[in-house]
Amino acid sequence: MKLSIDTMGIHASAVAAKLQRRLAALAQEHWRALVLAIPFVWLLIFFLAPFIFVFKISLAEALIASPPYTSLIEIVDDGIINIRLVVDNYAYLWEDDLYVKTYLNSLKISTISTLLCLLIGYPMAYAIVRSSQTTKHVLLMLIILPFWTSFLLRVYAWMGILADQGLINDFIRWMGFQPLRLLYTHTAVYIGIVYTYVPFMILPLYANMEKMNWELLDAAADLGAKPMTSFFTITLPATSPGILAGSLLVFIPATGEYVIPDLLGGGNVLMIGRVLYNEFNANVDWPVASAVAIALLLLLVLPMMLYQHVQGKEDGLK
């Protein structure tokens, strides 16, 4: 009996070793496909599946029940399948001026914020790249340092800074001037968005500038080109991929921002994130809220497609 158990154990070990060798050979042969499969599976689970679920709700009808929307597919008597799709939720977005104005206002705020981040972030990225190695590390650490603090705490800190009795107005009073109304204004929202997202502009620009051949500027100067001419003919075109990447990293999240307009705008600055929250929670109209979310997603896909198109053209030229 003992001999039989030992034989079975040896046989199982041999099978396990053989299976392990086959798996190792399979992994070595198809390692690229396995590496690419991991992000695809991640996107499938955490992006595509929620997107399909929200899209399904957007085609339903609001209902006072739990869940607060009708089913798309129902099995009625005699096994007949009844499919009901409601597209009125999307038509309602265009018929109601609130949604159109909110979309346009969100695009305006995110566009202006992106331009401000670019105007601030480009010189900072340029200065970091051109500084010494030690100074470069310190400056990069200062750029990343705010991420070590909670985003919500940083927004609350700006509420204290911009308040009527905050640091800025205290300084203005000390200078002998009348205090300004800063909190709960568009200015406060722009300050909060630019402060929060300017690192997302600096880091792609820095990564792009690091790969730039700076000897071209010396060659242009030797040929008599002025600094401004060298910037517009050499530096700016060479850093355009970084500008585009940083602009997308700022524009896309800024368009759907909710916390900053709610806390620093105080409800006076209406953006699509606030409308989305109200539809889901206050109005409990999940189908319309889902339609708003899908429309926002499609709106943000356009700049991503533009970025992919530009990148594809640049890769083709290379």
pLDDT in tens, 195-211: 999 999 999 999 999 88
What is the structure's pLDDT at 3? 44
pLDDT for 7 equals: 53
The Cβ-side half-sphere exposure at 89, using a 13 Å CA radius, reads 24
How many residues are given for the chain? 318
Question: Which residues make Cβ contacts (< 8 Å) with residue 169, sequence separation at least 6?
Answer: 163, 179, 180, 182
The low-confidence residues of the chain, meaning pLDDT below 50, are 1-5
Amino acid (one-letter) located at 166? G
pLDDT value of position 308:
72
Q: For residue 185, give the 3-state DSSP assignment.
A: coil
Considering just the CA atoms, what is the radius of gyration of the chain in Å?
A: 28
Half-sphere exposure of 269 (CA within 13 A, CB side): 29
What pTM value is reported for the model? 0.80
Q: Which residues contact 198 (CB under 8 A, 6 or more apart)?
A: 117, 120, 121, 124, 250
Q: Show the DSSP H helices in 175-285 as ranges.
A: 186-210, 215-222, 227-230, 236-238, 240-255, 259-263, 272-277
- Burial class of residue 128 (count of CB atoms within 10 Å of its CB; 0-12, 13-18, 19+): buried
**C-alpha–C-alpha distance, residues 91 and 95, integer Å:** 6
Distance from the first to the final alpha carbon of the chain: 71
Q: For residues 126 and 55, what is the distance between their CA atoms, to the nearest angstrom?
A: 43
CA–CA dist 106, 257 (Å, integer): 9
Contact status, residue 118 vs residue 247, Cβ threshold 8 Å: yes
Does residue 62 sit in helix, strand or coil? strand
Domains belonging to the chain, first-starting first, are 1-58 (no CATH), 89-317 (1.10.3720.10)
**Measured between alpha carbons, how far is 294 from 288 in angstroms, rounded to an integer?**
10
Q: Tell me, what's the pLDDT at 108?
A: 93
* CB-based contacts of 117, cutoff 8 Å, min separation 6: 194, 197, 198, 200, 201, 246, 247, 250
Cis peptide bond N-terminal to 67, omega within 30: yes
Predicted pLDDT at 2: 44
